[in-house]
Structure 1
Amino acid sequence: MSTKMVVQQPKPVVMTAGLDEWSSSICECDSLNECCFSVWCFPCFACITARDHGECLCLPLLDSFGFIPPITLSMRVSMRRRYGITDTICNDCVYACCCGPCSWCQMRREMKARLHPVTLFCNKAN
């Protein structure tokens, strides 16, 4: 009875976005649960995302005042500065005004991509 021993396993290929770009587009949906949660219970989703970003839990509730949602806009700018993402304030305004839930989903995905890196361990057999 012979056994084969694996000497070398193929290494995983990891594709990442440039460090100065958003890791996902505004309309991308990697988690159906989060996308549905942001659409059906948007205030709760925005508050949880703000809390996880280190802001006051109820801060997004102030977005109802004004034409341009100030908290969504400021959160996008804060996230871009924290992670070194190059984008324009004009894009932030458009996304905050026209695509509120999608904008918050993109910020949530960015936090997951930047704060929860995947660590791969390789166990070598002797």
Structure 2
Amino acid sequence: MNPVVSQPGYGTRSVTLSDWQTSPWECFDDMKICLCGTFCPLILSAMIASDMDEFCLCGASMAMRTLYRTRYGIPGSLCSDWLWWSCFPSCAMCQLKRDIDKRKAMNAF
């Protein structure tokens, strides 16, 4: 009898490890996203939810960050997602939107 040494992944496709396309502190790389995240966070979070084909009345959330990170094999944990979303919500939201846009530009989204 062979022991199970790994858990099944998300869905049927294999996940390759990657990293965030930008750091959370690179807000000024895309001023449109930066300004939207600073002054209109609900609009930016709705854009993120739409990009991810999710329906969420309150827009983006820690759960979406975790889903996105898991889908693209980005290292992290629920604890780190919670900390980013709790302590630096605008930075975390802007990072997520920038990453989505960069992956779209690379046809990897």
TM-score (norm 1): 0.65
| Residue of 82, 85, 91 corresponding to 1:102 | 91
The residue that corresponds to 2:72 in the other structure is 83
Letter in 2 for 1:111: I
Alignment check: 8 A CA contact 1:72 1:100 kept: no
Letter in 1 for 2:98: R
Gaps of 5+ in 1: 1-18, 61-70, 119-126
Deviation of 1:91 after TM superposition, in Å, equals 1.1
CA-based RMSD: 1.9
Structure 1 segment 1-126 matched on structure 2, within 5 A? 19-29=17-27, 30-56=29-55, 58-60=57-59, 72-117=61-106
Question: Runs ≥4 in structure 1, deviation > 4 angstroms?
Answer: none
C-alpha distance in 2 between matches for 1:35 and 1:22: 17
Residue 85 of structure 1 aligns to a residue whose secondary structure is coil
* Structure with greater Cα Rg: 1
TM-score (norm 2): 0.74
Deviations 1:30-87 (A, max 9, x none): 1112101111011111011111111115342xxxxxxxxxx52101110011111111
